[in-house]
Amino acid sequence: MLAPTRTALSAFSTRQFLCQRCLRRAKPQPLASASPARVPRRNFQTDGNGPSKDDLPFRKVLKDVAKQKKKLSRENPGSSKNSQKDKDPRLEKWELTVGIEIHAELNTARKLFSSAATSINASPNTHVALFDSAFPGSQPQFQVETLIPALRAALALNCDIQHKSTFDRKHYFYQDQPAGYQITQYYEPFARDGHVTLYPHDFPGGVSPEGGPVTIGIKQVQMEQDTAKTVLQPPSTHLLDFNRVSHPLVEIITLPQLHHPRTAAACVRKIQAILKDVNAVTTGMEMGGLRADVNVSVRERNISLGSAGHSYYGVTGLGQRTEIKNLASIKAVEEAIIAERDRQIELLEGGGAVEGETRGWTLGSKTTRRLRGKEGEIDYRYMPDPDIAPVIVGTAVVEHLQKTLPRLSDDCIKMLVDSKEYQLTSKDASTLILLDDGDRLDYYLDVVQKLQSAFSGNQKVFDRVGKAAGNWVLMELGGLFKNEYWSESRVPSSELASIIAHVLRKQITGRTGKLLLSTKFDGDTRSVEQIIADEDMLLQPLSRPEYISLAEKLLQEKSDMVQDIIEKGQHQKVKWFVGQMMARSAEGAVEPGSAEEVLRELLKLPPVEQPK
């Protein structure tokens, strides 16, 4: 057996090593063999008829949450807004604790320990090297470039990158693991001691169940190989597809610091978003590229378990935990935790004891189900893999990746909310970021940039373009895309910017602008300016004589209100007349300030004082 060569990532020429293939997906190429010269990009597709529920627009999620809140308030008019505890008094006695293990498929062209291509939905067993099938005598060959997206993920999760990491064998026997062990990092992972912070905007509805920002520690991030895919053919035949064997995974292990099911679900959603932000993964839960295991325990509040309790990585006094495996959606994470929490509480209050075990969950179930007794580390017989040399990561690599890390969602939200250029709400900002893998955000920024150029000499309007563009991109244009996939080509950013600019200049009304947008969305190839000219859409404001004529008519109709204004000093009723003038004219033809000025002249009232 040949001695393994030492794999090193020390100081090097960035141009030589950080090739484009390492940083973005490779272009599709024909596959000639299991060890191709050129590796195809992974082609992720689903067999379903549309996007999964986890891929729904975040604004739709927010609306559904709001509808559910209204429904609950109608059914329970006396209940408080924070009614989760109020509905189940047991939750005042028992505290839930959750830790999460997330397994995510890395965005790589090759497998972790062979040069075979990674693939999804390819014909079974067409991307398999000898090592992937555990062929006797075959050796693992660590693919150095697979470490790059893993490092980006760990840095984005605020982890400390370890200078040296090693691979270990985790022994278990199952049909999807041909070698009888899985290669992972147990003793010396490549990243440790990170954290992720959840803000109110990370929760549907913008409300954190724990009252504010929540920081969850990350124990470690490790690389490991995926297993084969098992395809069941009823009644008793199991087929194995080895395409997935040795696909590079990162396992992200959080500390048991989550105490609410919604917080756990938000944590998984946030980590998934971060991994996508830095291009570490090519897909998330909606297409099977990310799975979560949750460790659930309960304990009585304000009662120290002392030495009778369990501990994990410095967190002590925990109840006995159970693990729920392979949760494939955000909804499944939340509902499985609720079901297991309630099962454990009922068991403990009935005088029973929680067993350490692995359990399963089916979406829509009311409870979890036992799969097997919980294995401990000793059951897996971890041992260092003698065929894989240590991985050495140089400081220069870490510094370069840290400097070139893409902007994260939290940074984008802070920019969109706090910057005077945009002034969005945190809810609108987070919605923009989550929609269409960031394409909607790029589109919005293009619209804003064009509007800023158009109003560079008008500071008053210039300060409003960010908020106006957000409303049009999310609400007006978003409504047209309600049942369709996003495509910028339907209404190019320059065309939407032109429509908004005409509205802001009061050349057309808001209603006309919406009609224009719908016309462009339906495929009209004329420019916005041409449509306005052809359809005679330009707004014609009232002249001063028309203002006076309309005001005099209204004052004559409502002589009793005129008397109240003049004799009783009820000057606030002038506003009612302003509203009537606007209502009786074409939209946008009456300016409120001009209307009030004319009314006060006719009523011989002092003009409105202008702010200094």
- Three-state SS sequence of 548-576: HHHHHHHHHHCHHHHHHHHHCCCHHHHHH
Nearest CA to 275 out of 243, 314, 249 is that of 249
pLDDT, tens digit, 9 for 90 and up, residues 435-444: 887 889 999 9
> In this structure, what token pair is assigned to residue 511?
């209603």
> What is the signed CA dihedral for 493, 496, 501, 506, rounded to 10 degrees?
180
pLDDT band at 332 (very low <50, low <70, confident <90, very high): very high
pLDDT at res. 59 = 52
pLDDT at res. 46 = 33
pLDDT of 427 higher than 50: yes
pLDDT of 90 higher than 70: yes
Task: Answer with the residue of higher pLDDT: 342 or 312.
Answer: 342
The whole-number average pLDDT for the span 153-166 is 97
pLDDT, tens digit, 9 for 90 and up, residues 275-311: 998 999 988 887 888 999 999 999 998 777 666 678 8
pLDDT of 84 higher than 60: no
pLDDT at res. 283 = 82
Residue 392: count of CB within 10 angstroms of its CB = 15
pLDDT at res. 16 = 31
pLDDT, tens digit, 9 for 90 and up, residues 534-554: 988 888 778 889 899 999 999
pLDDT band at 70 (very low <50, low <70, confident <90, very high): low
> What is the signed CA dihedral for 85, 86, 90, 91, rounded to 10 degrees?
10
pLDDT of 611 higher than 60: no
Least reliable range by pLDDT among 18-22, 248-252, 372-376, 460-464: 18-22
Phi, psi of 605, deg, nearest 5: -100, 155
Least reliable range by pLDDT among 307-311, 365-369, 396-400, 566-570: 307-311
The whole-number average pLDDT for the span 42-61 is 43
Least reliable range by pLDDT among 105-114, 375-384, 387-396: 375-384
pLDDT of 417 higher than 60: yes
The whole-number average pLDDT for the span 246-250 is 95
pLDDT at res. 317 = 85
Percent of the chain exceeding pLDDT 70 equals 83
pLDDT at res. 18 = 31
The kind and range of the H/E element at 399 are: helix 395-403
Q: How far is CA 416 from CA 157, 201, 436, 587, in A?
A: 22, 13, 17, 31
pLDDT of 392 higher than 80: yes
Task: Answer with the residue of higher pLDDT: 564 or 586.
Answer: 564
pLDDT band at 42 (very low <50, low <70, confident <90, very high): very low
pLDDT band at 30 (very low <50, low <70, confident <90, very high): very low
The whole-number average pLDDT for the span 250-264 is 96
- Considering the chain, what is the average pLDDT of its residues? 84
pLDDT of 15 higher than 50: no
The whole-number average pLDDT for the span 254-265 is 95
pLDDT at res. 401 = 96
pLDDT of 25 higher than 70: no
pLDDT, tens digit, 9 for 90 and up, residues 214-225: 999 999 999 999
Least reliable range by pLDDT among 76-80, 169-173, 245-249, 542-546: 76-80
Angle (CA) 294 299 304, round 5°: 130
pLDDT band at 66 (very low <50, low <70, confident <90, very high): low
Residue 127: count of CB within 10 angstroms of its CB = 28
Distant-in-sequence contacts of 569-577, Cβ < 8 A, 24+ apart: 571/605, 574/599, 574/600, 574/603, 574/605, 577/551
Distance CA 473, CA 476 (A): 6
The whole-number average pLDDT for the span 150-165 is 97
pLDDT, tens digit, 9 for 90 and up, residues 456-511: 988 989 999 999 999 999 999 999 998 888 999 999 999 999 999 999 998 888 88
pLDDT of 229 higher than 60: yes
- For 275-327, the three-class secondary structure string (H helix, E strand, C coil) is HHHCCCECCCHHHCCEEEEEEEEEEECCCCCHHHCEEECCEEEECCCEEEEEE
pLDDT at res. 214 = 94
Q: What is the pTM of this model?
A: 0.72
Task: Answer with the residue of higher pLDDT: 58 or 133.
Answer: 133
pLDDT band at 87 (very low <50, low <70, confident <90, very high): low
The whole-number average pLDDT for the span 7-11 is 39
